[in-house]
A = this chain, B = another copy of it.
Amino acid sequence: MIKNTARATIADVARQAGVSKATVSRFLNHRDTLLSAEIAERVEVAVAQLGYTPSPMAQALKRGRSRLIGLVVADITNPYSVAVLRGAEKACRAAGYLVMLFNLGNESQRESAAIQALLSYQVEGFILNTMGYDAGVDAARCGKPVVLVDRLHQGLDVDFVSLNNKQAIDLSAQHLLDAGYTELLLATEPLGGVSSRIERSAAFMSFIRDHNEKVSGCCLASDAGAADLDQALRALRERAKVGRAAVISSNAVVTLRIVAAMARLGWQLGADVGLIGIDETEWSPYVGPGISTVSQPTGELGRKAAECLLDRLQGRDVAPRTILLPGVLNVRGSSDPSRR
């Protein structure tokens, strides 16, 4: 194994090229500030020979710019977060930034610690997809730009990128209604101040109110155990005696819980109880008769988030923007038994 080949420093390059460090630095940073072509040549060669790359650490220390962006996700296990992450990371990389990822593993009390850690590494801005228990505030307080994804933070008036929750819920509910389901249940994780959950519930209740002659429904916001969920589904079907019952699940995690409950109850997806879930996944088409979904434009959400941030990093100081992207309906057997 070859030994510790210490990284070449700017001093090494300077020596090799027979110039001063300042000259090398200038060559690297502002090539426009014309240096004699001959010197430039010499430096260029030296850089190539030594395989020199500037130390971002030292650069960050000197100018405060680290070319680092902090990305905090509540739960990396959630495919939604990963998909958004991919889009954001790609956009940041294209702009010459490196993303430092911090995963909370659903321990929201670690949020402040995460921000602090990232802050200490001089990240220039944040993309936050977290619970928002007053942690993003720390970031904003330091004057670093912040973009929120999917979840608003109380008292934080910054750029926000998200699925258009109202549109997505309306799309789902209207589809269910069109498919002949009349008794609806929105299943979500406990609201707990998470804006997307709250918005989806509100949109759902609003839809129900607006269509109360044709359909009725209610919300189940809980992390309740299996027994409780089974009970809720039984009750739902009970209520639907005259019509047909269906569930809208507010994300992929909940969708899987509903599927598990249906399996326990021995009910057929679509036939016994309809189901449509927000969040498209790779497995949606293959579970039972296929699970209907509303796909989020996750890659695009991530890209937009990154764009907002980069925008501000380049100095544009505009009013906080809210970017809402529409979901797309994927109809499958779980909301249309005729399909299988």
Contacts and interface: CB of A to CB of B under 8 A. Distances in A.
Contacts of A288: 286
Nearest to A143: B4
A117 interface: yes
A34 interface: no
B4 A56 contact: no
A236 B225 CA distance: 43
Contact of A76 (B55, B86, B143): B86
A3 interface: yes
Nearest to A66: B57
A226 interface: no
B55 A120 contact: yes
A90 B106 CA distance: 13
A7 B141 CA distance: 11
A194 interface: no
Given A143-B4, A286-B287, A286-B288, A53 B256 contact: no
Interface in A294-328: none
Interface stretch (A16-24, A96-104, A169-177, A196-204): A96-104
Contacts of A103: 85-86, 89
Interface string A140-160: 111100000000000001000
Interface of A: 1-5, 7, 53-58, 60-61, 66, 76-77, 82-83, 85-86, 89-90, 98-101, 103, 105, 116-117, 119-122, 140-143, 157, 256, 259-260, 263, 281-283, 285-288
Given A61-B61, A82-B82, A86-B103, 7 more contacts: A4-B142, A5-B143, A55-B122, A77-B86, A98-B121, A283-B283, A286-B288
- 9 closest A-B pairs by beta carbon, nearest first, are A4-B143, A283-B283, A101-B101, A2-B141, A286-B287, A259-B286, A57-B61, A57-B60, A57-B57
